[in-house]
């Protein structure tokens, strides 16, 4: 990320986000016996769900490059498109299985023996099966009833298990399925030894308290791990994933930048932001967070999108502080206005000082960077001049620097230079202290 106009790079202090979390009276409760917030795993689905993103077309070489980058980041599982989706999908699946990655390789199929027979021959470590259980999908998609679904599931699960690889059974559109139907089928597949059961918010309708209730209920019914998959249509995919972990889910489906059907699923980077805020030590022990930005750039380029301006962590302003009252406190202690440390992600913090909302603490910091010497009173005075010009037009760093340098020259050589006002500065601001509250 290049330095945009008007930003000031600040040296990184020891960050106290963990202390901040620990002092939070409403923070994660270690006594919550259901929670897997400090014991979660990632199923990375950029090469499956992500391939369903409108702009995605991954060549074999690009798939391998992405799989290797995900493996280096440290994801626990990599999920691939079904080998029966197309001939090339099958070949790519086999090629990725042969890479010898640390991450386990999964493929994702319909709950059908035709698909399962192909999947188990690809060399994957596990198979994720899914079938629609909601009234909508049963009526308008596959047209099967719950008995048929249960019979198919048992047949496919026992077949995949006989090959000695992992098997997950997931319902589709779980939050619009009948609760009793869901619990019945999950209990059935758990009894015959499925490795994981999956809950999927296929349409993005779920909200956090629903998620917590459903996961907690399911947790009381099955012994295997619970995996969750959340679409982001109503903007809750990260929060739903976090709440699912609180309720006892163990694995979360993610993709880089959240790419997938429609506006996608839980994004890897956004979930990392959430989880670092909850348990920084666990996340740092498992995942190479400083590789996040390169990973996002790799995928963004492959699918021809820009990193959203407001992306968690890597958005261009995620660690930029602008209001004067913020800048003052951040300069004293970054934890005042940051729950995440940019250094954890190999990034840096910026104090935006070239604007009308700036304060004298931010300007003083810039004066120090320019290696000039001004008293606090003088910094307040020059800040007034800067804010006054900032009221008239958008400021650049050069504007601010030249106002500061002219001011400094004025007070340093009062009898040599004429005492006329600094160019472009309009008289009249009555206050030097920062005047802008913030929450």
Touching a second copy, residues 198-227 (CB under 8 A): 198, 200, 202-210, 212-214
Distance CA 359, CA 376 (A): 12
Distance CA 222, CA 240 (A): 20
Q: Can residue 38 be called a binding residue for a second copy (CB under 8 A)?
A: no
Taking the complex as a whole, the smallest distance from the CB of residue 194 to a second copy amounts, in Å, to 16
Binding segment (CB under 8 A) for a second copy, from list 148-156, 307-315, 367-375, 397-405: 307-315
The residue among 105 and 323 lying less far from a second copy, judged by its C-beta, is: 323
Q: 198 and 229 in contact (C-beta within 8 Å)?
A: yes
Structure tokens at 407: 């001011």
Residue spans of beta strands (DSSP E) within 221-276: 225-230, 251-254
Q: Can residue 242 be called a binding residue for a second copy (CB under 8 A)?
A: yes
Q: Which residues of 250-289 are buried (b: 16+ CB within 10 A; e: fewer)?
A: bbbbbbbbbbbbebbbbbbbbbbbbbbbbbbeebeebbeb
Beta bridge partners, 10, equal 349
Taking the complex as a whole, the smallest distance from the CB of residue 125 to a second copy amounts, in Å, to 18
Q: Can residue 420 be called a binding residue for a second copy (CB under 8 A)?
A: no
Binding segment (CB under 8 A) for a second copy, from list 129-137, 159-167, 280-288, 398-406: 129-137
Q: Can residue 274 be called a binding residue for a second copy (CB under 8 A)?
A: yes
CB neighbours (10 Å) of residue 404?
22
Taking the complex as a whole, the smallest distance from the CB of residue 102 to a second copy amounts, in Å, to 26
Contacts of 143 (CB under 8 A, 6+ apart): none
Distance CA 311, CA 238 (A): 12
Q: Can residue 179 be called a binding residue for a second copy (CB under 8 A)?
A: yes
Instruction: Name the active-site residue from 290, 326, 408, 415.
Output: 326
Q: Can residue 261 be called a binding residue for a second copy (CB under 8 A)?
A: yes
Q: Can residue 158 be called a binding residue for a second copy (CB under 8 A)?
A: no
- Give the residue, chosen from 150, 315, 381, 401, that forms a contact with a second copy under the rule CB under 8 A: 315
Q: Can residue 316 be called a binding residue for a second copy (CB under 8 A)?
A: yes
- Give the residue, chosen from 188, 256, 270, 425, that forms a contact with a second copy under the rule CB under 8 A: 270
Structure tokens at 324: 């004067």
Q: Can residue 438 be called a binding residue for a second copy (CB under 8 A)?
A: yes
Q: 299 and 50 in contact (C-beta within 8 Å)?
A: yes
The residue among 8 and 188 lying less far from a second copy, judged by its C-beta, is: 8
CB neighbours (10 Å) of residue 309?
9
| Dihedral in degrees, nearest 10, Cα atoms 142, 258, 252, 93 | 70
What one-character DSSP code corresponds to residue 342? G
- Give the residue, chosen from 254, 318, 382, 404, that forms a contact with a second copy under the rule CB under 8 A: 318
Taking the complex as a whole, the smallest distance from the CB of residue 65 to a second copy amounts, in Å, to 17
- Give the residue, chosen from 8, 152, 311, 378, that forms a contact with a second copy under the rule CB under 8 A: 311
Distance CA 239, CA 229 (A): 12
DSSP secondary structure letters along 175-217: GGS-HHHHHHHHHHHHHTT-SEEEEEETTS---HHHHHHHHHH
Q: Can residue 338 be called a binding residue for a second copy (CB under 8 A)?
A: yes
Binding segment (CB under 8 A) for a second copy, from list 149-157, 291-299, 323-331, 401-409: 323-331
Distance CA 147, CA 60 (A): 39
Beta bridge partners, 78, equal 44, 105
The residue among 122 and 335 lying less far from a second copy, judged by its C-beta, is: 335
Structure tokens at 323: 């209001």
Taking the complex as a whole, the smallest distance from the CB of residue 242 to a second copy amounts, in Å, to 6
Touching a second copy, residues 361-400 (CB under 8 A): 387-388, 390-394
Binding segment (CB under 8 A) for a second copy, from list 157-165, 318-326, 363-371, 409-417: 318-326
- Give the residue, chosen from 233, 381, 401, 410, that forms a contact with a second copy under the rule CB under 8 A: 233
The residue among 108 and 406 lying less far from a second copy, judged by its C-beta, is: 108
Per-position x/- string for 105-124, each x denoting binding to a second copy as judged by CB under 8 A, each - no binding: ---xxxx---x---------
- Give the residue, chosen from 9, 12, 57, 369, that forms a contact with a second copy under the rule CB under 8 A: 57
How many C-alpha atoms does 197 have within 13 Å on its Cβ side? 27
Angle, alpha carbons 63-270-173 (nearest 5°): 75
Beta bridge partners, 77, equal 43, 104
Tell me if residue 326 is catalytic.
yes
Q: 164 and 195 in contact (C-beta within 8 Å)?
A: no
Taking the complex as a whole, the smallest distance from the CB of residue 424 to a second copy amounts, in Å, to 15
Q: Can residue 258 be called a binding residue for a second copy (CB under 8 A)?
A: yes
Q: Which residues are catalytic?
A: 326
């Amino acid at each position: 990320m290049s330095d945009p106009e008007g930003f000031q790079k600040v040296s990184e202090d020891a960050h106290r986000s963990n202390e901040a979390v620990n002092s939070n009276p409403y923070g994660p409760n270690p006594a919550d016996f259901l929670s897997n917030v400090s014991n979660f795993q990632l199923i990375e689905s950029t090469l499956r769900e992500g391939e369903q993103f409108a702009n995605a077309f991954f060549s074999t070489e690009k798939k391998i490059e992405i799989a290797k980058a995900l493996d280096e980041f440290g994801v626990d599982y990599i999920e691939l498109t079904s080998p029966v989706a197309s001939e090339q999908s099958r070949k790519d699946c086999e090629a990725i299985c042969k890479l010898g990655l640390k991450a386990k390789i999964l493929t994702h199929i319909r709950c059908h023996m035709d698909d399962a027979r192909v999947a188990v021959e690809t060399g994957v470590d596990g198979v994720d099966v899914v079938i629609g259980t909601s009234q909508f999908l049963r009526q308008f998609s596959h047209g099967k009833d719950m008995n048929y679904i249960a019979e198919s599931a048992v047949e496919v699960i026992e077949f995949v298990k006989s090959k000695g690889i992992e098997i997950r059974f997931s319902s589709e559109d779980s939050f619009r399925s009948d609760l009793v139907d869901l619990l019945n089928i999950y209990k059935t597949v758990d009894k015959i030894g499925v490795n994981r059961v999956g809950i999927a918010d296929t349409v993005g309708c779920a909200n956090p308290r629903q998620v917590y209730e459903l996961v907690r209920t399911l947790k009381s019914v099955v012994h295997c791990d619970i995996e969750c998959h959340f679409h982001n249509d109503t903007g809750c995919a990260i929060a739903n994933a976090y709440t699912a972990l609180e309720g006892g889910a163990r694995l979360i489906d993610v993709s880089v930048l959240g790419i997938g059907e429609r506006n996608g699923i839980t994004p890897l980077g956004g979930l990392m932001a959430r989880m670092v805020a909850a348990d920084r030590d666990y996340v740092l022990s498992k995942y190479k967070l400083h590789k996040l930005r390169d990973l996002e750039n790799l995928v963004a380029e492959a699918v021809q999108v820009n990193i959203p301006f407001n992306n968690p962590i890597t958005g261009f302003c995620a660690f930029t502080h602008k209001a004067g009252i913020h800048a003052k406190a951040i300069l004293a202690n970054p934890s005042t206005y940051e729950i995440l440390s940019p250094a954890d992600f190999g990034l840096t913090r910026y104090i935006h000082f070239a604007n009308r909302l700036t304060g004298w603490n931010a300007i003083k910091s810039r004066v120090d960077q320019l290696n000039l010497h001004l008293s606090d009173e003088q910094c307040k005075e020059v800040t007034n001049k800067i804010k006054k010009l900032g009221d008239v037009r958008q400021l650049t760093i050069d504007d601010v620097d030249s106002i500061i340098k002219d001011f400094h020259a004025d007070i340093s050589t009062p009898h040599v230079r004429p005492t006329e006002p600094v160019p472009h500065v309009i008289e009249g601001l009555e206050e030097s202290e920062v005047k802008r509250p913030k929450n």
